[in-house]
Structure 1
Amino acid sequence: MSQLKEAQAFGGGMNKDVSPVFQPENTYRDAMNIELTAAGEQLIVNQIKSALAIDKVTLNEDGYTVPYVNILGYTVAKAVSGSVETDGFVVYSYIFDSSSPNDSTQRIYFFEQTGASTSGSLILIAEGGGLGFTSDTSVDSFFTEEKGNKYVYFTDNLNVIRKISMDKSKWLIPPSSMPLISPAIDKGSLSITDFSVTGNGALLAGTYQFAFRFKNSNLNQVTKWSQFSQPIPIIPLTYASGTTVSFYGGTVGEQTGQSIKFKVPVGAGEVSGFYDLVQIAVIKNNDGSKVEQSVAYVFSETNTRSTTGNIDIQYEGDESED
């Protein structure tokens, strides 16, 4: 499904912020055109909380039952078991002991309707800290069918999109096994920063431009490319005090001992837990000809950031290209 790469950032309601590729036309967050009044929604939320309390979730070795539940979001959906379909709601919850914040868990349930819209039973889909929820996370999601298969897409606390199969036989999966569909952060308006030219390299004289994106090599998922940087000149003269533009010279393509250092910004949804590689695209103008921006060479570096910040990259000119 290559078009899934076009998902947009989430900043509000699903019906406004999701690309039409994801959100079926003329659908609301319940994705089935079912209009719910505010009172109806509250009845459902209350019933979900009651059912979760009855579930008696135990979070510590002493067996203390934690009845506090925050409903972070839900969406109308269908589940399937064999050839049998059932209606209900996918529910995102944060369950905790208000007196001991460390005693908490995160769960996704299917609230299976057994009668009226406010009666039903809960089936656990997934649980664990890997869901990335907090007590005040707001989860947006919607249900859709693709070639006869039923799925729910949702945003987690790191603002990326995940996918749940609504086939009951595939539930109770660890959060890390949920496919990461696309980053919600579009790098298209950003570019690499903090360039410097230094030694310990093998670049040919000329100019170089760089862009970046992140890649999950296990799921083969990538972000969008950033903008390309301005051309960075490499000259065949040794850098020393007093070297200025006035003294640039030498032949394009001449071997130098120079390299280029720069920083790649890493956002919350791009840390190493989601993307293990950062890919760098290089446009080389080191043969005296004009190189179109559609012609680039790509190499990969390990994403070393487990938290937000910058990755330091040094391009020496002898990297193995993808």
Structure 2
Amino acid sequence: MKNLKGKGCQKNSIEDWLVSEESLFEPIISAETFKKAYDLQSSKRRGRVRQNPKAVYAGFIICENCGVPMTADGVTYRCTTYLNKGGPRSGCTRNKVKESVIDKYVDSWLEETGQTLAWTGEATPVTSLYKTRDINDRMRSLMVIIEHYLADKLSQAFSYEDLSDGGRSFEIETIDGVHEFTLPGYDGDPSFLQNLLGTVEASENASMRSSIVKLEARKAHLLSIFPEAQNKSLRETLVRELNTLDSQIELAQGGVTDYAKQHKELIVQLHEMWRASKRARTIEAPQARRKALRELIMEIRCKFVQKIVKKCPRSKLEGLTIIPELSASQEDVRSTGAGW
């Protein structure tokens, strides 16, 4: 065999190899120290944890410290910031919550919400608590009234603490520990919502009806002069104007708020949500049940914050705080005091 330089070389047989059990060169560090250093370096290596396709709560569990959605790692959800940005050097802690714990809290939350919404199936449902959508868009949010009603009912059964942002913090002690969660709250009687919306509706409808009166007066005027218009071009112009007025009047009439109709629609939608929660909670197969719960959570549009309750002396209880998502229009409601 020749190498690239054209010189010949020969491969020795394994039997001719010289093997020494002792190192020919003195090591810089001992073998024990090297092994410890290698193990320490290996322990710091963290591969990117990819989201489990079966993680039905992905995107809904938020780390309490950094506010980033937690990553599914098998049957556990862990802080994504801690996993991907250097562990302890990431600035966050090793927050985690098991899927079984999430199941328990979601199930409990849906049961409480289901009990709250049970009144929607009654012949004479409660009418003092309801929330319409934006006056122009109709029925923009169901979550607002659900949270108000739930906070009101829980306040009657459990002790709570009023928060600075108007919310209420509840602590419910059971045999397995202390459960802590918060709900958006409000000051004063819940009928404040009804009175406020009634005032806004009356003002909006009065303005809309005034516009309709003006449009109808304009239409009547054009109809009165139409028979006298002998010019073909003028008659065509009047016809186009009358058609435009008809469209504007129809749109204006559709914009007038029908309070009773909206309330009925709200009751129907709340009742359907209640039925969906009952169906989801009766599914026995864990994965199918979680998928049904995920669909319901997406419909209600809320997220959960992983929370550690430190008052339990034996162990830290992993809990969840319900945080509904707000669209841009709902943020406007919050700022005016008409929502949360």
What range is the shorter-chain TM-score in?
under 0.3
What TM-score does the superposition give when structure 2 sets the normalisation length? 0.20
Q: Which has the higher strand share?
A: 1
Q: Which has the higher helix share?
A: 2
The structure with more radius of gyration: 2
